[in-house]
Structure 1
Amino acid sequence: MGTDSVFVLLYVDDIVITSSNDELISFFKDMLHQQFHIKDLGPKKYFLGIEVARSSLGLSLCQRKYVLEILEDSGLSGARPSNMPMEQNLKLTDTGGSLLSDPSSHRRLVGQLIYLTVTRPDIAYTVNILSQFMHQPRQPHLDVAHRLLRYLKATVGLGLYYSTTSSLELRAYCDSDWARCLMTRLSTIGYCIFIGNCSISWKTKKQHTISRSSAKAEYRAMAVTTCEITWLSYLFQDIGLSIPKPVLLFCNNQAVLHIATNPIFYGCTKHIKIDCHLVREKIHKGLIHPSKILTVSQVADLFTKSLGHDQYHFLISKLDVRNLNAPT
């Protein structure tokens, strides 16, 4: 078949096969038929709860049916919709409010929401917060979960869109809050990586160690994002895609940018010296190029804090997350 390749995505007994050569796909399926009893479902429309819509303009991924099942399972199908997943600047603790009489249903709900973040980066931060109180969920945690469900009802058709005309240029955004957790004073990192205008990787996660300054917290976020960019570059190389380098890595903290490009270690950076070496190595090799961005345009803010209505929806539009069921 020349230089053509076939790619197989396998999860238990569900398989997705793709290639730039239709003959190669047919050949591979015939090989499988000879060894196993398989059922060919044709072009992909539904896979592991993810609905797939394809056209000449692009590919859309959403979990509309899954969202409706969550709403029905929780008894909130008739609830009043909300335009925000979480109240701005809300801070939850593990001691405030009464304990839930039946924590198992809440844990089940949060588990369902975690899987929903596969195609819904807009709820990643809220779900991350809820998942931190699974051991002893309380009424305020359930209230946040119910508000998130009301937001999902208002945005049931929201999903990812990948345009066929998108470029192959990677760009990344990284951010961190500072000691926002009231119980541990740990910071939360967040990043989002795009290929062209399409978001392909995102994360919100609490840091493992306490940062004594906002610069250190954000530098750790830059280091984590750099590791993800490195992995993606290897992945694209393996599948035969050439990604333009360096990858622009946007950060809104001027001190972090100074540390990343300054070859001299100061005393204030000794606690993040390994991260400094990692980031500077990738800069030296030409993989990344840290760049300044205004806070108002920092997409990674979505993954580190609960924002106000206007800023939240402005940044959501930058993710190219679309309502696939909206009238055209």
Structure 2
Amino acid sequence: MDYTYASKLSKESGTALQDHTPYRQLIGRLLYLTNTRPDISYAIRKLSQFLDCPTDAHMHAAYKVLRYLKGCPSLGIFFSSANDLKLTRFCDADWATCADTRRSITGHCFYLRNSLISWKSKKQSTVARSSSEAEYRALASATCQAQWLSFVMKDLSVPLTESITLFCDKHSAIHHLATNPIFHERTKHIEVDYHIARNQHLLGLTHLMPVSSNNQLADFLTKASASGPFTVNVSKLGLLDIHNLSLREGVT
């Protein structure tokens, strides 16, 4: 699916709809579907911003999502029984991407070895003054989710035996903010809450690692992509088509 149209949408796009109900009902149903279809998370998050002022352009974009889903209705997350308890996560941020507010978009996804178990695409609550700050907020959000997952696993009597590996493609966010206290004097305008990323790294909950943008699996949660890159990203998520003959033969 080509998501490039989604990045151009704003509250001023198109002509206002006379009746908002059909748009709101459609987005509500699609929001529920994102619980099992992470591939539409970015588009639906974007479209849900316009529930109070939908236009024909927003509705047209929502119909594009429906056409995409019609082309792959049986696609879903595959949980392998061979997975161990190694948690890895990818976090990313797209700086000042919202045309209406200039807020950045946070995206992160967690894997239990090769199975995707948690993901998030959300607009940040405040405007970031730099791309490094936007990435650091994404790190903080992912760290909070990592803490929660570690508590859940402990309650299930399967505590983590090693640090959660966190992959981030912004080197300055890792080295200047999360691991090197010398640079903290330059970032006092960032709320103290966001220093949780560094604290949890020092405590051993997370292990920060750089990753190239081409291998950033959370990229699809933060920005629009053309059909080619989008297809490549989805193929890395571990989503499988239950109607695929090769998969069914493998199960039997």
2:103 pairs, out of 147, 161, 186, with 186
Q: What SS does the corresponding residue of 1:168 show, helix, strand or coil?
A: coil
The aligned counterpart of 2:85 is 168
**Distance apart, 1:150 and its partner CA:** 0.3
Aligned-residue Cα RMSD (Å) equals 1.3
1:314 pairs, out of 219, 227, 232, with 232
Kindly provide the CA deviation profile for residues 61-95 of structure 1, in whole angstroms up to 9, marking residues without a partner as x. xxxxxxxxxxxxxxxxxxxxxxx063356321111
Summarize the Cα distance change of 1:249–1:170 in structure 2 as closer, same or farther, 3 Å threshold. Answer: same
Distance 1:119 1:273 in 2: 33
Kindly provide the CA deviation profile for residues 246-294 of structure 1, in whole angstroms up to 9, marking residues without a partner as x. 1110000010011211022444311225245311211111100110000
**In the alignment, does 2:139 pair up with 1:222?**
yes
Distance 1:105 1:137 in 2: 10
Q: What SS does the corresponding residue of 2:7 show, helix, strand or coil?
A: coil
1:80-159 correspondence to structure 2 within 5 Å: 84=1, 86-87=3-4, 90-159=7-76
What is the percent sequence identity of the aligned residues? 40
Asked whether the equivalents of residues 175 and 221 of structure 1 are also in contact (C-alpha less than 8 Å), the reply is: yes
1:1-328 correspondence to structure 2 within 5 Å: 84=1, 86-87=3-4, 90-258=7-175, 259-328=177-246
Return the structure number with greater relative CO, CA threshold 8 A, min gap 6: 2
The aligned counterpart of 1:77 is none
Distance 2:191 2:53 in 1: 37
Q: What SS does the corresponding residue of 1:133 show, helix, strand or coil?
A: coil
Q: Which amino acid aligns with 1:87?
A: T
Q: Which of 217-226 and 257-266 deviates more?
A: 257-266
Number of positions where the alignment pairs a residue of Structure 1 with one of Structure 2: 245
The aligned counterpart of 2:250 is none
Asked whether the equivalents of residues 13 and 58 of structure 2 are also in contact (C-alpha less than 8 Å), the reply is: no
Distance 1:88 1:216 in 2: 27
**Distance apart, 1:136 and its partner CA:** 0.9
**Distance apart, 1:141 and its partner CA:** 0.4
Distance 1:183 1:92 in 2: 9
Quick check: which one's strand share is greater?
Answer: 1
Distance 1:86 1:277 in 2: 33
User: Where does structure 1 lack aligned partners over 5 or more consecutive residues?
Assistant: 1-83
Summarize the Cα distance change of 1:112–1:247 in structure 2 as closer, same or farther, 3 Å threshold. Answer: same
User: Where does structure 2 lack aligned partners over 5 or more consecutive residues?
Assistant: 247-252
Q: What SS does the corresponding residue of 1:123 show, helix, strand or coil?
A: helix
